[in-house]
């Protein structure tokens, strides 16, 4: 095996290990904590409304909505808070130890949830602790991945997070279905799907023992020999090219250190830094505002608007989940490093807007008959929604993770990524709470609203986002973030400088 091949293999291994955090995120999101699980017939509800769970924890079924809402909300609140706790910690102890700690914290929370304490309060505490571990990991994973992955396939490996997320949520669907069908109505029926969270969480923590610490973090801390060993390991080479990369990293970090002695929060308000921070926040907000997350959580309710209900909405949601995995995998494996980030995000948002607005128009003018049959307009709208989720998983699903991790200099990378990921958790919570009310009260207008959001996202991306494909983190960090609109402009500038 050549050094190039070995280096690429190690980079992919690093991406797979750290992005187990994405699988964990997806599995936990789909693990039947919502009032109506997308793939289960109406007689099968979420884990928290299984008769075995109700018996063990002794709550009245009329309170199931409150129980589910608290379980979801407390976990997301813990994850949101963790975003702001983890970035000073990861600066102090490093990326590797931070991910190990995140894994341990999540496992503690998952164990508390799995134990039959007969106490909803204890279960909620477990959800909150697990949320803290999950939120912390969601900040450190893209940070670690971007700092260690070669620029040639940084976008591809960074996109693993979303791909693993789709695997996680899809896996949770079928595990939940299996336990409702095959496991007796005793405690282990709800303990199995909850306890299985420990498997990916443990794999994430143990997998870190196979990786080196971030080269850039080690350089920032003045541990230059360790940084050189880390870079040689991930590149599987000590060639002159790798030595030159090490010098570029060292020069970039030293430039940042000389710029200001001692990091201060007020640095985030400096014009160029604030522009990057705001971009990070806006990109992850836009990811949630596309409407795709709402579809993942409330697929049957959406498809009921399109085809009039019955068992068809459950089957259509199952297909929806499979399409997400396939489309995201196609992007990661074949497109991620062949296309520019900015153009893909623009065209993805435009296409999603067209699909959603057209769906709204069709549902308004040709509503489903409601008698169990599917008319031609229903077939058309289902096709549009499938095209929508394909577009999402070829653009706004995977790309925000590598994009946000790329745009910050080492000096503010922890804080910047934390702000961006916190907006992901914040609006994940907002839309998971508001979407059922939107569907009930707005009907076809829900599709129109998502379509208008997508149109605004496309315009904002065209006006404000900058290309990062093919550039080293140092090239992105030490140039005016608003200077070039696309990759070709950046390339021309690099050639002119040389």
Choose which CATH entry (1.20.1250.20, 3.30.420.10, 1.10.3720.10, 3.40.50.300) describes domain 1-211: 1.20.1250.20
- The CA dihedral of 459, 399, 468, 486, to the nearest 10 degrees, is -30
Q: Which helix (H) or strand (E) holds 119?
A: none
Q: In Å, what is the CA distance from 345 to each residue of 190, 267, 330?
A: 40, 29, 16
Determine the pLDDT at residue 317. Answer: 64
Determine the pLDDT at residue 279. Answer: 93
Q: In Å, what is the CA distance from 7 to each residue of 145, 212, 226, 314?
A: 14, 13, 18, 44
Q: CATH second-level architecture of 267-498?
A: Up-down Bundle (1.20)
pTM over 0.85, yes/no: no
What is the C-alpha separation between 160 and 145, in angstroms, rounded?
Answer: 10
Determine the pLDDT at residue 238. Answer: 92
Determine the pLDDT at residue 325. Answer: 87
What is the C-alpha separation between 130 and 465, in angstroms, rounded?
Answer: 33
Do the two domains 1-211 and 267-498 of this chain adopt the same fold?
Answer: yes
Long-range contacts of 243-250 (CB under 8 A, 24+ apart): 245/472, 246/215, 248/472, 248/474, 249/215, 249/216, 249/219, 249/474, 250/219, 250/224
The answer to whether 307 touches 313, Cβ cutoff 8 Å, is yes
Closest CA to 99 of 140, 157, 132: 140
Determine the pLDDT at residue 319. Answer: 77
What is the C-alpha separation between 11 and 327, in angstroms, rounded?
Answer: 23
Determine the pLDDT at residue 48. Answer: 65
Domain-wise residue ranges, the chain: 1-211, 267-498
Average pLDDT, 10 consecutive residues per value, the chain (498 residues)? 87 93 83 44 52 78 66 84 90 94 96 91 92 93 91 86 87 77 83 92 95 94 95 94 93 75 75 90 95 74 68 64 86 84 94 94 82 71 89 92 87 86 89 80 91 97 88 76 48 45
Classify residue 412 by its DSSP letter. Answer: G
- The CA dihedral of 36, 40, 42, 45, to the nearest 10 degrees, is -50
């Amino acid at each position: 095996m050549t050094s190039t091949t070995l280096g690429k293999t190690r980079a992919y291994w690093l991406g797979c290990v750290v992005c187990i955090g994405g699988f964990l995120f997806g599995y936990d999101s789909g693990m039947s904590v919502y009032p109506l699980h997308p793939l289960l017939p109406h007689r099968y509800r979420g884990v928290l409304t299984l008769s075995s769970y109700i018996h063990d924890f002794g709550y009245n079924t009329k309170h199931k909505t409150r129980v589910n809402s608290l379980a979801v909300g407390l976990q997301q609140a813990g994850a949101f808070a963790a975003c702001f706790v983890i970035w000073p910690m990861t600066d102090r102890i490093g990326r590797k130890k931070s991910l190990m700690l995140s894994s341990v914290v999540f496992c503690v929370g998952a164990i508390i949830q799995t134990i039959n304490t007969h106490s909803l309060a204890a279960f909620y505490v477990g959800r909150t602790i697990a949320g803290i571990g999950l939120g912390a990991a969601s900040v450190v994973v893209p940070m670690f991945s971007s700092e260690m992955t070669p620029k040639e396939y940084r976008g591809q490996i960074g996109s693993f997070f979303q791909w693993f997320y789709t695997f996680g949520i899809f896996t949770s669907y079928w595990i939940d279905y299996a336990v409702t069908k095959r496991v007796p109505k005793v405690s282990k029926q709800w303990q199995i799907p909850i306890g299985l969270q420990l498997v990916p969480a443990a794999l994430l923590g143990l997998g870190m023992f196979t990786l080196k610490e971030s080269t850039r973090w080690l350089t920032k801390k003045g541990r230059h020999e360790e940084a050189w060993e880390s870079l040689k390991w991930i590149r599987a080479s000590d060639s002159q090219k790798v030595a030159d990369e090490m010098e570029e990293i060292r020069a970039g970090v030293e430039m940042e250190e000389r710029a200001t002695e001692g990091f201060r929060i007020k640095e985030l308000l400096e014009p160029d830094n604030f522009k990057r921070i705001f971009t990070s926040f806006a990109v992850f907000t836009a990811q949630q505002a596309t409407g795709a997350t709402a579809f993942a959580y409330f697929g049957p309710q959406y498809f009921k608007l399109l085809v009039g209900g019955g068992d068809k909405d459950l089957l259509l949601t199952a297909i929806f989940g499979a399409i997400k995995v396939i489309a995201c995998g196609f992007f990661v494996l074949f497109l991620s490093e062949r296309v520019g980030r900015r153009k893909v995000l623009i065209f993805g948002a435009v296409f999603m807007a067209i699909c959603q607005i057209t769906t709204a128009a069709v549902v308004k003018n040709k509503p489903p008959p409601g008698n169990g049959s599917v008319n031609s307009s229903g077939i058309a709208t289902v096709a549009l929604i499938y095209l929508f989720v394909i577009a999402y998983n070829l653009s706004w699903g995977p790309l925000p993770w590598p994009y946000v991790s790329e745009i910050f200099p080492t000096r503010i990378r922890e804080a910047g990524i934390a702000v961006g990921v916190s907006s992901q958790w914040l609006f994940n919570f907002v839309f998971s709470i508001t979407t059922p009310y939107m569907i009930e009260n707005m009907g076809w207008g829900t599709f129109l609203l998502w379509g208008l959001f997508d149109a605004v996202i496309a315009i904002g991306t065209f006006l404000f986002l900058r290309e990062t494909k093919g550039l080293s983190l140092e090239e992105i960090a030490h140039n005016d973030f608003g200077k070039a609109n696309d990759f070709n402009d950046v390339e021309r500038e690099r050639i002119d400088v040389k």
